[in-house]
Structure 1
């Protein structure tokens, strides 16, 4: 099983801390520049150990060491988006991809994010550990994703409009619940 570890000398930037320009095109350009810089840094850190073929099924551990308080889940996930984009293969829209993992879909990538409180700003960093998942773990991840999807679908049917129904049918479904 393949295992790659690298450390970025900074905590991943949270979306609410970016300070992006209000202009949409300028913000997109700033995000792309940030990801290109991250790709160059990760490529240098993985020099000589980067896999020839992308890891088909991966578990990606991200340990964000920061002096601030623990971010909420949506900010944490959004902060990892750029990292996951960099780790995937290059495409026409994502020219900076390194091809470390094949895909970041839940059935292919098991993302585990953790906050580690750093006592001093010099201890801030992001440690990333990528491991190849074997067949048994792949099935467990897929089963967990399917179970979560099933639970979400049942919640939608009870607490909101069931998918694919019009307003009248939604009102009847809610009244029946």
Structure 2
């Protein structure tokens, strides 16, 4: 099931699913195409809340969890440039659906799109980030493990709650 590029919005329906809430977004901001070089710039452009936390090295930390019925539209995760390696894992209904280890070098603080997809223009440093549609009936979780202590992880998301 794919609802297309844009969220349904509160009260809309898709098949048997009815959106009853949207989290991670400023309620006054609608979602369209946005530019996402980093989590910070993306959240500002899209009106999403950017979350952050100082991480411990080699400790698997759950940075997001949703239970019940819903759909993930966007999930971006990032560590600062030069923050060594980090691993992102995402689970849908308890099944691992995303597992990637990223090696950041100097000047490489590009956010990783766990859910959503990007396009790279022929010129310029910005990527377009488009929402996707990943429905779940019981749970969606994202974990982050870093190799260097004291780094601050950032993430933002757009998740719908369904009835």
TM-score by length of 1: 0.27
Please state which structure has a larger fraction of its residues in helix. Answer: 1
Larger Rg: 1
- Which structure has more RCO (C-alpha within 8 Å, separation ≥ 6)? 2
TM-score by length of 2: 0.28
